[in-house]
Structure 1
């Protein structure tokens, strides 16, 4: 039988919280990438790009699994495979890093931006569907192919727009707006992908969704990525050039002229 599937077991709490985490990860990634552009090619630039990749990857992954707290299947116990759940986090960070480092080192040329956007978008989609393989319902999960394709297209467009913003926008307010848009796009990708899901279970299981155990598991899994986002936020907040928008673009490399005084004879 085909079970009733819901994404809003706890109402609007999970989608709103998920959206906010996606926005946080996007804004931090944008600010870190912008900061890296003014750091030459040394270790500091590498560090800012790495922090941006971790922020964006953790933000997207955290958004996904906060949203999944609200996932329920009528008449089925929902459980997660811890190994695949963690693997999806590593995939999110690794693939996002490819896109971030491409635009961070090679700029926003059409070819570079297109390649980075496609790779990053496919990585986001891979994270989502790999994360879905970690879900066990005691039944069989099926997907609507056309809706899956639509979700992947949304992921690619969202990733491309975010990477373009990272190398084209410097003002803090503009990156916040871009982060809000990116968060909405990532959320749209997630819920579009979930709209493709149908679950067939052989028979009704007792107990429905095990709210306490499932919520505890997901909160434990979320602790690490959330802590990484908080740490990244602290680094960004205490860096005056990131917050104030100073030196956001590549410096000329020439020392500032020293003012001279003219003496009257």
Structure 2
């Protein structure tokens, strides 16, 4: 109930919906790119894992930043740009490491351990971003909620990556997307429920609320562009694979010199 009341009473719900759109889109693209990386080897696999890390880290960071801008502490706020950028680097590098570990085949629980690393990277990104979020007031943290947010992120991320790799059910791909969304959303709003801000009345300078909304929309647009770029890469590769298959099929069924069907293939069996 505390988490629900935090969302309903202390956030701009329109920006929360925008963050949810960013989160679902980013997770959908991330799981798709990770799935493609596991179907390749060598340099191609590393390239797809890099795209997976960029899509995952940027979409998670954008979701967090938009939801953070949706938070209304009742006091002026400012940001530390260095820590904001550091949180983005942590998100991309940490999720990249986690997905790389999950793609290995040397250990029985490699996918789940890789998912735990992804969850810890999400947590590190969130709390680094919160360090960059300066509120003109006294900030207090509830320890049990902080611990709960870390557990939620690690557990749901492990389940998401495990389902993406093992695919025990026909719908495991979509289940992995949903679990990753729960890991991100569960971490963020549980961690935000752990925050209590007591405004200081003698401090009145901060970022204009209209500017915060504009920043949130701009971050969402950039995040969606990054996700769309990853999806476009997936489509281009899929089209290339299909064309290669059709070319090989044509060579197998037709004469290489004339291009006509092989004579033996036209004869019906007795």
Instruction: With the length of structure 1 as denominator, give the TM-score of the two structures.
Output: 0.79
Count of residues in Structure 1 that have an aligned counterpart in Structure 2: 247
Counterpart Cα distance in 2 of 1:174 and 1:243 = 24
The higher radius of gyration belongs to: 2
Counterpart Cα distance in 2 of 1:170 and 1:228 = 30
Equivalent residue, structure 2, for 1:253? none
Relative contact order, higher structure (CA 8 A, sep 6+):
1
Counterpart Cα distance in 2 of 1:53 and 1:28 = 11
Relative to structure 1, the CA distance from residue 125 to residue 198 in structure 2 (aligned partners, 3 Å threshold; closer, same or farther) is: same
Equivalent residue, structure 2, for 1:55? 55
Relative to structure 1, the CA distance from residue 16 to residue 180 in structure 2 (aligned partners, 3 Å threshold; closer, same or farther) is: farther
Counterpart Cα distance in 2 of 1:223 and 1:157 = 30
Whether the aligned pair in 2 keeps the contact of 1:23 and 1:183 (CA below 8 Å) is: yes
Consecutive unaligned residues of structure 1, counting only runs of 5 or more, are: 248-257
Whether the aligned pair in 2 keeps the contact of 1:53 and 1:93 (CA below 8 Å) is: yes
SS of alignment partner, residue 136 of structure 1: strand
Matched, 1:86 2:63: no
Whether the aligned pair in 1 keeps the contact of 2:78 and 2:206 (CA below 8 Å) is: no
Tell me the alpha carbon deviations over residues 133-183 of structure 1, each in whole angstroms, 9 at most, x when there is no partner. Answer: 111112232210000000000000121122112212399964234313321
Whether the aligned pair in 2 keeps the contact of 1:53 and 1:96 (CA below 8 Å) is: yes
Matched, 1:25 2:26: yes
SS of alignment partner, residue 104 of structure 2: helix
Equivalent residue, structure 2, for 1:230? 228
Counterpart Cα distance in 2 of 1:120 and 1:182 = 10
Whether the aligned pair in 2 keeps the contact of 1:99 and 1:163 (CA below 8 Å) is: no
Runs of 4+ more than 6 Å apart: 170-173, 241-244
SS of alignment partner, residue 105 of structure 1: coil
Q: How does 1:96-135 map to 2 (within 5 A)?
A: 96-106=95-105, 109-110=108-109, 112-135=110-133
Whether the aligned pair in 2 keeps the contact of 1:32 and 1:242 (CA below 8 Å) is: no
What's the RMSD between the two structures over aligned residues?
Answer: 3.4
Counterpart Cα distance in 2 of 1:215 and 1:177 = 32
SS of alignment partner, residue 161 of structure 2: helix
Equivalent residue, structure 1, for 2:40? 39
Instruction: With the length of structure 2 as denominator, give the TM-score of the two structures.
Output: 0.78
